[in-house]
Chain A
Amino acid sequence: MQFSIERNRKIARYAILLAISLSIWVLEEFVPRPIPWMKPGLSYVAVLVGMSILGPIMGGSIAISRSLLGSLILGKLLSPSFILSISGSVAASIVMILLFPLKNRLLTPLGISVAGSFSHIAVQIAIAGALFYRMDIVLALLPISTIWAVIAGAIVGIIATVVEKNLLNFYK
């Protein structure tokens, strides 16, 4: 049977996680920030939780759908900031999907999150340099952004660990 309960459950969970991720993303957009790409990235909590509940590929696609839908809501679709956001999300989800099989053996969600947040910010900076600014100027932002990526990624990873643990206890 194609529409099994398991499948419907997966779709519903995906929708809930996407909605949570999207609302956090849209709210974060209004938080003032000193450097253009210095977002806390708390919406990745939902992505990380989704990866462990729904599987890595479905979870990773939350990040991409979130960027698409969020830009649509804020009226930024196909603008420069949308291009930066979607490229960062694609990079982060690819890196996190690749690292996900190592989870619980070598990595905790913290490591996956830090790697994801760094790839998000690094790809954003590279794309910004290639398309909109000069590469040497944006590369000067990379060290500061890296420190921020590590801090934000660690916070997101810790929150995701706690949420995941409680959620899995709740379901089983």
Chain B
Amino acid sequence: MKKYTYIGDAVIIVLVLSLGFSPYWFRAKNATIDKFIIEMNGETFAVIDCDADATIVVPAQLGPIIVEIHDDSAWVKSSSCPLKYCVEMGAISKPHQIIACVPNKVLIKATGNVKKSKLDAILD
């Protein structure tokens, strides 16, 4: 009876899986989004890391605005403004995107460096 060692097999399977999932890894590394900045009345109210898991209550002019940050994206959960455009805007997850609540004078900005080109596609 031959004695098999399975250490090499395990190493190969782990190596293969890590290689196979490297696209996700690279994508996570290349994610250029960095921080969310919440501004109120033109002044910075809070700066939150994009990978934080937070619910922030912004004490705005017309009443509280609830901002949620989760999984590199931020959205307004509920707002005190009459038209709720900031809620309908949905989540932002890329640099230089903005959620604005005009009646409350609140801005939520995503910061980071933009590397991608302005082109949608290249045909050759």
Spell out A's residues near B (CB within 8 Å).
99, 102, 104-108, 110-111, 114-115, 118, 122, 139-140, 142-143, 145-147, 149-150, 154
Please tell me if the beta carbons of A114 and B24 are within 8 angstroms of each other in the complex: no
Please tell me if the beta carbons of A150 and B13 are within 8 angstroms of each other in the complex: yes
A146-B17, A150-B17 known; A107 and B12 CB under 8 Å?
yes
Please tell me if the beta carbons of A142 and B23 are within 8 angstroms of each other in the complex: yes
Spell out B's residues near A (CB within 8 Å).
2, 4-9, 11-13, 16-17, 19-24
B interface, by DSSP: helix, strand, loop or mixed?
Answer: helix
Contacts of A149 in B (CB 8 A): 16, 20
How far, in whole Å, are A113 and B2 apart by their CA atoms in the complex?
A: 19
Contacts of A140 in B (CB 8 A): 23
Contacts of B20 in A (CB 8 A): 118, 122, 142-143, 145-147, 149-150
**CB<8 Å pairs between A and B, sample of 26:** A104-B4, A105-B8, A107-B9, A107-B12, A108-B4, A108-B6, A108-B8, A108-B9, A111-B8, A111-B11, A111-B12, A114-B13, A114-B16, A115-B12, A115-B16, A122-B19, A142-B21, A143-B24, A145-B20, A146-B16, A146-B17, A146-B20, A147-B17, A147-B20, A149-B16, A150-B17
